[in-house]
Structure 1
Amino acid sequence: MNWTRTKFAALVLVLATEPLSAQAAQSGAGEPLSAIDWLSDSVSFPPAVKVVPPIAPPASPVPTVTVSTLGAPVADDAGLFPAEDIGLSETLWGLSSASDLARALLAVPEITTPTLRAYFASLIQADFNPPVDAAVDNSLFLARLDTLLALAKLDEAEALIEAAGPPEPQRFRRSFDIALLKGTEAGACQIISTNQDISPTFPTRIFCLARNGEWDVAALTLGTAEALGILSNTEDQLLLHFLDPDLFEGEKLLPRPASISPLLFRLYEAIGERPQTDALPMAFGVADLSETVGWRIRLRAAERLTAAGALSAEGLLGVMSDRRPSASGGIWSRVAAIQAVRAALVDGNAAEISRTLPPAWDAAVSVGYHAALAPWIAAHIQTVTLQRRAHHTAFEIALFSNNIDMARQYAGSSADDQTLLAILTNSPFEIRNAAPLAIAVRRSLSGLAPSESYRMLVRENRRGEALLKAIAVLAEGMDADPNAIADALSLLMSFDLDILARRISAELLLEDSQI
């Protein structure tokens, strides 16, 4: 390509694209704060409307009036399954505003307790009646999407976006990034070319033009963007390399930004500088599941995503069974251990299962994906007579798969095993020591009423805020105040979420042997 000629032509093109450039210069205006800071700046938003305050205040307060188009679609009408599937009423949001619920949702820290993490993700996807002001405020819906993206649940976020209706700029911004991470950007680029309501920024327009094979138009558009001075140095350099890699071969790239978007990730990948995803947000690991990357990279991504609850056991096992490990130590030893127990489970050989199960479970626990494997393993060993060494492993597997009958079958006589079994089966139990968390669990499960702060939210018909507040406390795990944990568990019990409260209690106690 002749970049001098292209830039000259771009100066002519500026006049023809002035509305587009003005809109691009305002990119991001009107977009609310996100739960994540790595979204691609892919869609231009109209400028925010400035409201001129009155010269003098009214003599008496005027009630706030919200106006919306009759019959207009409400994003928060979208859900992937009924609320009753997770033990809640569709009226959970009650009289809470969308912004209050969004703030409570985004205040939940990273969750490591598997049962709580899975329930939290389900809560975001469930179908509830929209908040009272959802017709004029979509902040809760965007917070739901951003939380799913942070949890690397891209398929679920994509399904929620589709359920919300036709493409709309704020939702499309997220679906475009999902497509980039999943490698399905061709469809997203097609939406850009056919939907006038979606106005892409220059980097996105250039990327999609090239992706659609319109390289000359992409080059001309890049020249326009350079003439307008609206690209960052990193964007400019990456797009130049992307459109004509031979011209810039060997040229040293600028230092990579501390935070990159999915679009920048794909541009780096296209020019042969693919970033490692270990240090990037969890969602980027989905891009490493592609068969175009090396097996070790796929394995590490699969382990990381499974540990976070974003990939199923079947997905992990599918990657792990791709071939035999050619080395030992670290990830290769874990793969070998999982492959060995899988072969034993398929054969149904009790002696081999007893031999391979403990090391495989220990390997899974060491990197955090044991909870995902537990139901799959439990389904294979319920009719197997295990040797004594594997009994405690089978008991832990039963706990994480919520298989009460199996837990009774393999529970040992130790106080620890009997206490955990009693918690799950709603039986009386004694506390071996005075560990604060164990005392807190017993108080909450014995029917202790939640504190006044929770009861006030419930009285005000803000049950959803109360539940999100409790989840935020429990998400802190062992770092939380035991009294706060007891209070949060009591709130779950008062919502008739007894099984959930007991499973979370058992996992918290098992995590640090606080029994």
Structure 2
Amino acid sequence: MRQLLSALCFLAIAPTALFAQANEPLSVIDWLSDSVTDEQALGDRGLEPPTATSARPPDVLVTQLDMPTPDAVGLFSSATLGLPNSMWSLSEETSLVELVSDLPDPKIPVLQDLLVTLLLIQSDPPFGATPQGRFFLSRVDKLLELGRLEEAGALLDATDLNTPEIFRRQFDVSLLTGTEDKACRSLSQGSKVAPSYAARIYCLAREGDWPAAALTLNTRRALGDISDDDDLLFSLFLDPEIFDHSLELPEPDRVTPLIFRIREAVGESLSTVELPLAFAHADLRSINGWKTQLDAAERLARNGAIEPNVMKALFTTRRPSASGGVWDKVAALQALQAALDSERTDAVGAALPSAFESAKEMGAEALFSEIYSNEVSEYDLTGEAAEIAATMMLLSPGSELDMSGVNVDPFLVAVAQGRPQEVRATEPRRLAIQAAFNGATPPQSVQTLLDDGRTGEAILEAIHLTEGGLDGDLNAMRDAITILRAVGLEDIARKASLQFLLMERL
């Protein structure tokens, strides 16, 4: 079966049409598998919005209330963040699709989490929402881009709609997480989605129906719509006896999850290092070597795309077999875990600096702090270890708690408590944060968004501004923190300020 599955690796190369309108990009995700037929992917033309005849936005947008749209679908209420249910409804769907698609991946960990939360919120649909759910799909695609496969899968599962573009994304999430049997079952159980022949053959092979898989291949060959290279590959894996092993497997022009899994199935795996972040999740599966899993975990941790308990388990449950690189980081984290297990203050103090340095090298200081800060704070540490423990407390959840007995920079404590204006500061980054808590107001363009009730847009703009702040535009960072406070996200504003000041990689 592994050989048969690999034969499909290049069938998903031909581009699949999306149902986005001209000048209205649906998604920046260009690596989705061609798992539905082109006709299905185009959708029901009777539901397509009219094509624009002018670059000028229309004066009035109308949403037909009896037409279902997945745009309102989410996993939890906007009240979770203290935001109104109308946070998106006064914004145009097209504008939101563009904003979400163009938004850079946040580098500040708490803003990574904020963006994910925004994308998962259930709220009133945006102005002009359509049955295609373009805003919904843009949210899913941004989650995929961020490497948040679990969240993307949950959001997709939350809608009752079974459209080709929703299935496409469900299928790829299942491929990357090793749960493709579920997606294949949905096809064999009367799904309204018409799979591409690549997906059909893949699923037939997964289900052990080799004759049907071979028939599908022969049909495509008879119709003349399969390339010579693909024909050779299919023939090869259906009947490996005919293969000339001196031939090299061609490199795919475009790597999709379907291509990735089929290559893996025949022992011609592709490295995920140069692939989009979402592919790194495939390396976490137990079928891969520990080194591969560790490298993937490190990459995901840098982007906040791995659960703390998964990260901890990967780094602490086995003994390192070598030294250097990731193995030194494993050794450092295991030494800290052993020290904590021993409940000896001197051992914890000795192990903490190396472990924290390893976390910094991975770009995972916040994740490391979330995992270990509570345990570390129970010890009466001194010197460098005490300073690191205080930093971990500030980086982890709960940094707004009373830290009066902790030997740490008073300005950082003041930021954690939302009163940095009360402590003298001279360093430019600190002055920018201080200004945000000392009467600064949002830029006029963002204030207009707030006045119009377009709260979600304003928060997205704040996240975008932090990228400029990290590039040296401290006025942009001041404005970003000011906006977060203006919409009531006070705790997030404090945490973002602390991470901006404390994390050396930012």
**TM-score class, shorter:** 0.7 to 0.9
SS of the equivalent of 1:410 reads coil
- Number of residue pairs matched? 480
> Is 2:424 aligned against 1:430?
yes
- What is the deviation of 1:470? 1.5
Give the corresponding residue for 2:74.
79
Give the corresponding residue for 1:311.
306
**Matched-pair identity in %:** 36
Give the corresponding residue for 2:102.
107
**Distance (whole Å) between structure 1 residues aligned to residue 276 and residue 243 of structure 2:** 30
> Is 2:387 aligned against 1:398?
no
User: Could you say what the CA RMSD is over the residues aligned between the two structures, in angstroms?
Assistant: 2.9
Give the corresponding residue for 1:192.
187
- What is the deviation of 1:465? 1.4
Amino acid at match of 1:411: N
Farther off after superposition, 380-389 or 471-480: 471-480
Is the contact between residue 242 and residue 267 of structure 1 (CA under 8 Å) also seen in structure 2? no
Q: Write the deviation string for residues 320-340 of structure 1: whole angstroms up to 9, x where unpaired.
A: 233211211111010011111
Is the contact between residue 70 and residue 161 of structure 2 (CA under 8 Å) also seen in structure 1? no
> Is 2:36 aligned against 1:43?
yes
Is the contact between residue 284 and residue 296 of structure 2 (CA under 8 Å) also seen in structure 1? yes
**Distance (whole Å) between structure 1 residues aligned to residue 288 and residue 267 of structure 2:** 12
TM-score between the two structures when normalised by the length of structure 1: 0.86
**Distance (whole Å) between structure 1 residues aligned to residue 177 and residue 255 of structure 2:** 16
After superposition, the Cα gap between the structure-2 partners of 1:139 and 1:480, relative to the gap in structure 1 and judged at 3 Å, is: farther
Q: Of the candidates 221, 224, 227, which is equivalent to residue 219 of structure 2?
A: 224
**Distance (whole Å) between structure 2 residues aligned to residue 232 and residue 444 of structure 1:** 60
Is the contact between residue 468 and residue 476 of structure 2 (CA under 8 Å) also seen in structure 1? no
- What is the deviation of 1:477? 4.4
After superposition, the Cα gap between the structure-2 partners of 1:92 and 1:64, relative to the gap in structure 1 and judged at 3 Å, is: closer
**Distance (whole Å) between structure 1 residues aligned to residue 130 and residue 317 of structure 2:** 48
**Distance (whole Å) between structure 1 residues aligned to residue 237 and residue 92 of structure 2:** 45
Farther off after superposition, 230-239 or 186-195: 230-239
After superposition, the Cα gap between the structure-2 partners of 1:67 and 1:383, relative to the gap in structure 1 and judged at 3 Å, is: closer
> Is 2:342 aligned against 1:347?
yes
Is the contact between residue 465 and residue 479 of structure 2 (CA under 8 Å) also seen in structure 1? no
Is the contact between residue 399 and residue 407 of structure 1 (CA under 8 Å) also seen in structure 2? no
Q: Write the deviation string for residues 292-343 of structure 1: whole angstroms up to 9, x where unpaired.
A: 1111101111222222212122101212233211211111010011111112
Q: Of the candidates 85, 89, 92, which is equivalent to residue 94 of structure 1?
A: 89
Amino acid at match of 2:220: A
Amino acid at match of 2:471: D
Map of 1:441-460 to 2, 5 A cutoff?
A: 441-460=433-452
Is the contact between residue 285 and residue 293 of structure 2 (CA under 8 Å) also seen in structure 1? yes
- What is the deviation of 1:226? 3.0
Is the contact between residue 73 and residue 159 of structure 2 (CA under 8 Å) also seen in structure 1? yes
Give the corresponding residue for 2:413.
421
Map of 1:455-466 to 2, 5 A cutoff?
A: 455-466=447-458
TM-score between the two structures when normalised by the length of structure 2: 0.88
**Distance (whole Å) between structure 2 residues aligned to residue 63 and residue 477 of structure 1:** 36
- What is the deviation of 1:467? 1.4
Amino acid at match of 1:503: K
**Distance (whole Å) between structure 2 residues aligned to residue 63 and residue 465 of structure 1:** 19
**Distance (whole Å) between structure 2 residues aligned to residue 98 and residue 78 of structure 1:** 14
- What is the deviation of 1:238? 4.3
Is the contact between residue 469 and residue 475 of structure 2 (CA under 8 Å) also seen in structure 1? no
**Distance (whole Å) between structure 2 residues aligned to residue 386 and residue 106 of structure 1:** 46
Q: Write the deviation string for residues 260-316 of structure 1: whole angstroms up to 9, x where unpaired.
A: 000000111111101111111111111111111111101111222222212122101
Q: Write the deviation string for residues 426-458 of structure 1: whole angstroms up to 9, x where unpaired.
A: 23122233x2x3332221121211111111122
SS of the equivalent of 2:242 reads coil
After superposition, the Cα gap between the structure-2 partners of 1:86 and 1:237, relative to the gap in structure 1 and judged at 3 Å, is: farther
Map of 1:155-170 to 2, 5 A cutoff?
A: 155-170=150-165
Q: Of the candidates 397, 403, 411, which is equivalent to residue 407 of structure 2?
A: 411
Q: Write the deviation string for residues 361-404 of structure 1: whole angstroms up to 9, x where unpaired.
A: 11011011221121221121222111322011101111111333
Amino acid at match of 2:193: I
**Distance (whole Å) between structure 1 residues aligned to residue 341 and residue 227 of structure 2:** 55
Q: Of the candidates 33, 36, 55, which is equivalent to residue 26 of structure 2?
A: 33
- What is the deviation of 1:145? 0.5
- What is the deviation of 1:161? 1.0
Q: Write the deviation string for residues 163-183 of structure 1: whole angstroms up to 9, x where unpaired.
A: 111432111100000111111
SS of the equivalent of 2:503 reads helix
After superposition, the Cα gap between the structure-2 partners of 1:263 and 1:408, relative to the gap in structure 1 and judged at 3 Å, is: farther
Is the contact between residue 265 and residue 274 of structure 1 (CA under 8 Å) also seen in structure 2? yes
- What is the deviation of 1:228? 3.2
After superposition, the Cα gap between the structure-2 partners of 1:191 and 1:223, relative to the gap in structure 1 and judged at 3 Å, is: same
After superposition, the Cα gap between the structure-2 partners of 1:512 and 1:374, relative to the gap in structure 1 and judged at 3 Å, is: closer
Amino acid at match of 2:156: I
